[in-house]
Structure 1
Amino acid sequence: EIMAIYATPEQAVSAAQAMQKAATNVLSAYGLGAGCAVHCGDVVEGLFGGKDVRTYTVIGDIVNTAKRLEGATAAGEITISDVVYERLGKQLQVKLCRTHDLKGKTKPFKSWVLLNSKVPDLLP
């Protein structure tokens, strides 16, 4: 598992594309696969831990939701949350994936699957 933080959803989607391509190149030789998920929102960031050991990380509902969405993503897919779709929808080619009953959510969570071959390079 890899968790990465980006300043914009565009950067996150482009990075997910690159990670998915690299992972597929390596893992497919062993009959394995991996999926990526992208979600966005406000998080709490900082050094967390005790007096002797601290780790810089992010926490919050957005982080938990991204993790759960990643767990519901099939190998070889990049799933984006409805929030990301609302921000970037016109730039992306997607298909409606499904709704998920994610732990900690009171209503179904909608996600979209990127059609990888049609996604433009969103990095500047």
Structure 2
Amino acid sequence: MIRKDFIEAEIQKLAQVLAKILRLKNDGNVDDAKELSSQTIVDSFGLTEDELDSLSPEEFTDRLREQKYSAEKLDMLAQFLFESVYPFEETDETFAALNKTAAILNLLETDYHQQSLQNISKREQIDKFLNNRQYE
């Protein structure tokens, strides 16, 4: 019961940070929002930018499985990664973050049997952006 309460409190805290990121973006502070998102990924998930850039999607998925995150925490990580590069720019950082986000969404579907309309929408945006790169 204590673990469940801890996880719920942690998810609530992450949701509040995500709401702040979205407010910053709505106010036109995209750079501040991206910085807060990146910092939260480091602080809450222990993932550095170097790891996000260097790990393959498969290595990244294996690392997430080893951490045994709850589905809710994985979903939050996907949202933070997505928001850390949205709006999308054609940079290596963006492509790496989007590939990792897609890997998390796959993990949620295959291992946790979870899907949401929000994640389906994110996947479509990611696929469209990544597929446009292939045809250039």
- TM-score by structure 1 length? 0.27
More strand by share: 1
More helix by share: 2
- For the pair shown, the structure with the greater C-alpha radius of gyration is 1
